[in-house]
Amino acid sequence: GENVEQHPSTLSVQEGDSAVIKCTYSDSASNYFPWYKQELGKRPQLIIDIRSNVGEKKDQRIAVTLNKTAKHFSLHITETQPEDSAVYFCALGTSYDKVIFGPGTSLSVIP
Amino acid sequence: EAQVTQNPRYLITVTGKKLTVTCSQNMNHEYMSWYRQDPGLGLRQIYYSMNVEVTDKGDVPEGYKVSRKEKRNFPLILESPSPNQTSLYFCASSLSGGMNTEAFFGQGTRLTVV
């Protein structure tokens, strides 16, 4: 069945450095690629998303890039801050309206 | 305030005792779904509903039931809970089908089956 791989599973960066998380998928019919942030003990919340007709999207310090040919999309966080520490999930909609989330990346920003 | 509300937040129950976790949204969303979150496995979809009276299995539907009799409510039913259903459960809703629009999550329900 459909699968989403997410790497790395854990990531530690120094405050101010950049962080990159990558997801790869196999369903070529997927056309919506969101990223969710889940702080400890809280619910996941959307931080940025991209649709298949766009290659890159930025929102202040975060950006998402999409390569539909290679079937991968990435989350980029620049100038990381301690409050960026959380678990990040990529997700995509499948051709049957099911939803698949990646396994998550635990990001730690070290002050 | 636009929100998805789950109840209860915490639940400890015994094997075999039927339980229901409620989920309600006030955003008039068509699409609702249930996920379970387990360490290292991320969020796995249990069931989803495209609209009233329309429900479909996600990736891990065994042992669960759902119903969608009203647009705003999407309860999750465990007819005979087992310890392997101990998990953190999230309900979510979105404007349209699949993940074509932002999903709004409830606060989560931490279920322990002993």
pLDDT tens digits along A3-25: 889 999 999 999 999 999 999 99
The C-alpha of B80 sits at a distance from chain A's nearest C-alpha, in angstroms, of: 25
A43 CB neighbours in chain B (<8 A) are: 90, 105-108
**Residue of B31, B40, B99 with shortest CB distance to A92:** B99
The reported pLDDT for the residue numbered A1 is 63
Q: Which of A51-60, A91-100, B22-31 has the lowest mean pLDDT?
A: A91-100
The strand pairing partners of B41, in sequence order, are none
B105–A102 C-beta distance less than 8 A: no
A45–B98 C-beta distance less than 8 A: no
Mean pLDDT, residues B88-110: 89
A91–B99 C-beta distance less than 8 A: yes
**Taking a C-beta distance cutoff of 8 angstroms, is the pair A44, B106 a contact?**
no
**Taking a C-beta distance cutoff of 8 angstroms, is the pair B73, B55 a contact?**
no
The reported pLDDT for the residue numbered A96 is 63
- Percentage of residues in chain A having pLDDT higher than 70: 96
B103–A103 C-beta distance less than 8 A: no
Which of A47, A73, A97, A106 is the best mutation test for B, with the most CBs of B within 10 A?
Answer: A97
Residue A73 scores a pLDDT above 90: yes
**Residue of B31, B42, B99 with shortest CB distance to A104:** B42
The reported pLDDT for the residue numbered B10 is 97
Pull the structure tokens for residue B37: 């979150």
The strand pairing partners of A89, in sequence order, are A36
The reported pLDDT for the residue numbered A29 is 77
The reported pLDDT for the residue numbered A65 is 96
CA distance A24 to A37: 18
Residue B36 scores a pLDDT above 90: yes
Pull the structure tokens for residue B95: 């404007």
Mean pLDDT, residues A37-66: 93
User: pLDDT confidence of B101, banded at 50, 70, 90?
Assistant: confident
Residue A95 scores a pLDDT above 80: no
A89 CB neighbours in chain B (<8 A) are: 42-43
B43 CB neighbours in chain A (<8 A) are: 44, 89, 91, 101, 104
User: pLDDT confidence of A47, banded at 50, 70, 90?
Assistant: very high
For residue A75, give the H/E element and its range. strand A72-77
Which residues have a Cβ under 8 Å from the Cβ of A30 and sit 6 or more positions away? A52, A92, A93, A94, A95
Residue B100 scores a pLDDT above 80: no
B33–A43 C-beta distance less than 8 A: no
